[in-house]
Amino acid sequence: MENSGAGVLLRNRRFGSYVDADSGIKSVALPPRNAAVKEGKMLETDDICEEEDGWLMVMISWARIVVCFVSMMFTTFIWAMIMLVLLPWPYQRIRQGNIYGHVTGKMLMWILGNPIKIEGAEYSSEKAIYISNHASPLDIFLIMWLIPTGTVGIAKKEIIFYPLFGQLYVLANHLRIDRSNSTAAIESMKEAANAVVKNELSLIIFPEGTRSKNGRLLPFKKGFVHLALQTRLPIVPIVLTGTHRAWRKGSLHVRPAPLTVRYLPPIRTNDWEREKLEDYVRLVQDVYVKNLPESQRPSESSDIVGSCRTSGS
């Protein structure tokens, strides 16, 4: 993924991965949204800071994070052994990397206990370039779980230095790009696109290129459009809501906030023209702006009641 990342579990860094929607996912209905009034203006609960949680809830959250970390280390070690056996078969290593993501991502979300609602699952098995907004370590776990088998991620080449996970990423034959300069990055993108076409794979990438600090959508980088122009794969947007409220950047406290994963209809790229690259970036970003709640849309300021402090941050 474009600047995929390791979460707080691994040195508060970002890590890249993939996952599947053919895993018997069941949707969990979200509770009704409440509203508050400030100076005559209705505010959704997404825009209201939660009160500080009690020490018991904080301790339970920390315990869940420790269990997640230990569980992930266990599954990472097991699949690293499998990858080593499969060294002569690169495509099988990609598939095993996806299976690792399905098992580990679903397990971690079960441990953390957030209610999850999944919409548009009929678009989750397309051969496509999957893209997602990124505002929380939880995004990684969800993506690991919910993307199709036969999907590769694209990460910066430095991911190999992330303990255990980085080495598994490389063993799983997923793609890395050199971002040291624009020429090297473009060449890396071409190589990635060729590998995807040759092996009939899907891709997963975070078009913002980094994690949002407050949940609001950041400007999209052009890498995903370059990949679409070279592969002619459709783009399937995955819209994640609520993850920034459940696990805030820099925090070791996961709240039981409800999450929504919504697959949008594929955006066909067969007739896209290289001269209109900037237009396509804006087009896809506008799709996200229309489908995100107000609290996650790009904005210079937000209507938040009071000031928020995050436990454990």
- Report yes or no on 203 lying in a domain: yes
Average pLDDT of the residues in 235-250 = 92
Please check whether residue 2 lies inside any domain of the structure: no
Q: What is the pTM of this model?
A: 0.78
57-61 average pLDDT score: 89
Residue 266 lies in a domain: yes
Q: Distance between CA 221 and CA 74 in Å, rounded?
A: 35
State how many domains the chain has. 1
What is the 3 state secondary structure string of the chain? Answer: CCCCECCCCCCCCCECCCCCCCCCCCCCCCCCCCEEEECCEEEEHHHECCCCCCHHHHHHHHHHHHHHHHHHHHHHHHHHHHHHHCCCCHHHHHHHHHHHHHHHHHHHHHHHCCCEEEECHHHCCCCCEEEECCCCHHHHHHHHHHCCCCEEEEEEHHHHHCCCHHHHHHHCCCEEECCCCHHHHHHHHHHHHHHHHHHCCEEEECCCCCCCCCCCCCCCCCHHHHHHHHHCCCEEEEEEECHHHHCCCCCCCCCCCCEEEEECCCECCCCCCHHHHHHHHHHHHHHHHHHCCHHHCCCCCCCCECCCCCCCC
> Which pLDDT does position 43 carry in this prediction?
40
Instruction: Examine the pLDDT at 14 and tell me if it is beyond 50.
Output: no
Q: What does the pLDDT average to over 162-169?
A: 83
**Angle, CA of 201, 94 and 11, to the nearest 5°:** 115
Residues 175-184 pLDDT 10s: 888 777 777 7
Q: Is residue 284 part of a domain?
A: yes
Closest by CA position to 123, among listed 270, 28, 262, 228: 262
Q: Which two tokens stand for residue 37?
A: 């009034």
Please report, for the domain that includes residue 277, its CATH number: 3.40.1130
**Beta pairing partners, 238:** 132, 263
Residue 20 lies in a domain: no
- Looking at residue 130, its pLDDT comes to 98
In a domain, 27, yes or no: no
In a domain, 265, yes or no: yes
Range of the domain at 90: 54-296
| Predicted local distance difference test score (pLDDT) of residue 300 | 60
- Whether 185 is in a domain gets the answer yes
